[in-house]
């Protein structure tokens, strides 16, 4: 039998559910433990790494407004969100050099939203060959860079561009 060691998963397995909204916590409290995943705080939005990414650089772009649906954002909030999304893609292209992106929103729990009360956009960098036999045969996704390394790269890139 082959073993895949992922000791950091124990924190996820044993972690008590945190009260409140992840996005609101990191927006309101820069000392929150999940705020270490924030790579940029633009006007009206926040950009943070997904703690359980599909690929390196998988970020979430959320408005500051705590609303569950895109259509509930006013025009200024929508503009802030889209400006943040555009710059995020630009920084990811420059820093990680992906060959493409998946960008989307899971709206509503039935659509897969883990945080259905605070709309957010997922930005997943993609590279040719980033899918391989591991998810098919082993039901395992290999992420080839630690979150703190990706966070450092992206934080630097956002602050310098």
Torsion of CA 38, 40, 42, 45, to 10 degrees: -30
| Amino acid 96: pLDDT | 96
Catalytic residue among 58, 118, 120, 122: 120
Q: How far is CA 118 from CA 62, 130, 145, in A?
A: 8, 29, 28
pLDDT tens-place string over residues 63-112: 999 999 999 999 999 999 999 999 999 999 999 999 999 999 999 888 88
Q: Is the pLDDT of residue 41 over 80?
A: yes
Q: How far is CA 154 from CA 7, 31, 52, 136, in A?
A: 25, 19, 17, 30
Active-site residue, 120 included: yes
Q: Is the pLDDT of residue 133 over 80?
A: no
Percent of the chain surpassing pLDDT 70: 86
Q: What would the 3-class secondary structure string for the chain be?
A: CCCCCCCCHHHHHHCCCCCCCHHHHHHHCCCCHHHHHEEECCCCEEEEECCCCCCCCCEEEEECCCCCCHHHCCHHHHHHHHHHHHHHHHHHHHHHCCCEEEEECCCCHHHCCCCCCCCCEEEEEECCCCCCHHHHHHCCCCCCCCHHHHHHHHHHHHHHC
Q: Considering the entire predicted model, what is its pTM?
A: 0.81
Q: Is the pLDDT of residue 113 over 70?
A: yes
More confident residue, 129 or 94: 94
For the chain, domains (ranges, CATH) are 37-160 (3.30.428.10)
Q: Is the pLDDT of residue 12 over 70?
A: no
Q: Can you tell me the distance from the alpha carbon of 111 to that of 1, in angstroms, rounded to the nearest whole number?
A: 36
| Amino acid 108: pLDDT | 87
């Amino acid at each position: 039998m082959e073993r895949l060691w992922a000791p950091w998963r124990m924190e996820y397995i044993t972690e008590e559910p945190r009260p409140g909204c992840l996005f609101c916590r990191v927006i309101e409290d820069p000392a929150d433990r999940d705020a270490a995943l924030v790579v940029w705080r633009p006007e009206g939005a926040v950009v943070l790494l997904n703690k359980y990414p599909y690929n390196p650089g998988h970020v979430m772009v959320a408005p500051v407004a705590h609303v569950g649906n895109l259509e509930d954002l006013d025009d200024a909030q929508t503009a802030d969100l889209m400006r943040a999304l555009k710059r995020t893609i630009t920084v990811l292209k420059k820093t990680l050099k992906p060959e493409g992106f998946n960008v989307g929103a899971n709206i509503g729990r039935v659509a897969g939203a883990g945080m259905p009360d605070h709309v957010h956009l997922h930005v997943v960098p993609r590279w040719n060959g980033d899918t391989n036999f591991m998810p098919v045969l082993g039901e395992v996704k290999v992420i080839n860079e630690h979150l703190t390394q990706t966070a450092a790269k992206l934080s630097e890139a956002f602050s310098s561009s």
